[in-house]
């Protein structure tokens, strides 16, 4: 039980409605060269280009991006499930040798059963709203403040069957 790592304020918020090319998915691809944006492809809908934010942007100047729709990829380091709600701690900066750093919090409310559960060490791609910073108390009673994204889409990589 690691529920103590995520603050109740994050769960309450859930009630409200640099990526590497080898992690591109059939759902999320890089935008124009030199751009931090990604292309999001949803069958039956127009293709969209969304902004990706770096950890540095979200952590250092959160007020500049609150309310922005963003697309991110990362490695799940912690999963907390309660009913249809997920709260994830995800490292979003990919380093050498497939290491990931720079943790953010992602909340996701899924409608109905998940086809695949999100597990620690999964690589995920999300689309959602950047909501600024959130804080919680660690097991050592220290305040931890991280960037927070409320996801509207969540995909696990690799896709099923690959």
Nearest to 40 by CA among 54, 26, 53: 26
Q: What is the pTM of this model?
A: 0.73
pLDDT bin (cut points 50, 70, 90) of residue 17 is very low
The domain total for the chain is: 1
Average pLDDT of span 54-67: 95
**pLDDT (tens digit, 9 = 90+) per residue, 96-131?**
888 899 999 999 998 877 778 999 999 999 999 999
Tell me what pLDDT residue 39 has.
58
pLDDT bin (cut points 50, 70, 90) of residue 47 is low
Residue 49 lies in a domain: yes
| Segments forming the whole domain that contains residue 79 | 3-157
Residue 69 lies in a domain: yes
Nearest to 146 by CA among 64, 99, 88: 88
Distances in whole angstroms, Cα of residue 42 to Cα of each of 28, 38, 88, 127: 9, 13, 23, 11
At 82, which CATH number?
Answer: 2.40.50.140
Tell me what pLDDT residue 29 has.
52
Q: Using CA of residue 150, residue 148, residue 102, residue 88, what is the dihedral sign?
A: negative
If one counts every other C-beta atom within 10 angstroms of the C-beta of residue 105, the result is: 27
Residue 162 lies in a domain: no
Number of residues assigned to the chain: 162
Tell me what pLDDT residue 40 has.
58
Average pLDDT of span 79-90: 94
**pLDDT (tens digit, 9 = 90+) per residue, 124-159?**
999 999 999 999 999 999 999 999 999 998 988 876
φ/ψ of 119, rounded to 5, equals -125, 160
Tell me what pLDDT residue 93 has.
92
If one counts every other C-beta atom within 10 angstroms of the C-beta of residue 58, the result is: 25
Residue 97 lies in a domain: yes
97 conformational bin, left if phi > 0, alpha if psi -120 to 50, beta if neither = left
Tell me what pLDDT residue 21 has.
37
130 touches 67 (CB < 8 A): yes
- What mean pLDDT, rounded, does the chain reach? 77
Proportion of the chain above pLDDT 90, given as a percent: 50
Residue 73 lies in a domain: yes
């Amino acid at each position: 039980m690691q529920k103590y790592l995520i603050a109740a304020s994050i769960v309450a918020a859930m009630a409200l409605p640099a990526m590497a090319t080898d992690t591109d998915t059939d759902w999320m691809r890089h935008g124009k060269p030199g751009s931090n944006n990604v292309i999001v492809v949803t069958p039956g809908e127009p293709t969209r280009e969304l902004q990706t934010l770096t950890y540095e942007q979200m952590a250092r100047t959160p007020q500049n991006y609150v309310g922005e729709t963003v697309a991110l990829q990362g490695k799940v380091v912690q999963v907390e499930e309660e009913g249809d709600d997920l709260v994830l701690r995800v490292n979003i900066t990919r380093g050498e040798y497939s290491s990931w750093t720079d943790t953010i919090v992602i909340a996701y409310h899924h409608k109905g059963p998940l086809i695949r559960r999100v597990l620690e060490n999964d690589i995920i791609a999300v689309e959602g709203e950047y909501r600024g910073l959130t804080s919680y108390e660690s097991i050592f009673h220290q305040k931890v403040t991280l960037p927070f994204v409320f996801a509207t889409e969540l995909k696990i990589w690799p896709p099923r069957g690959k």
